[in-house]
Amino acid sequence: MTSHQLLRLNQVEKKTGLRRSQIYLYMKNGIFPRSIKIGPSSVAWLESEIDEWINLKLSGRDDR
The structural domains of the chain, ordered by start, are 6-63 (1.10.238.160)
| pLDDT value, residue 58 | 92
* Percent of residues, the chain, with pLDDT higher than 90: 84
CB-hemisphere CA count at 13 Å for 30? 0
The model carries a pTM of 0.87
pLDDT tier at 61, thresholds 50, 70, 90 = confident
Confidence check: pLDDT of 2 > 80:
no
Q: Tens digits of per-residue pLDDT, 32-58?
A: 999 999 999 999 999 999 999 999 999
Mean pLDDT of the chain: 93
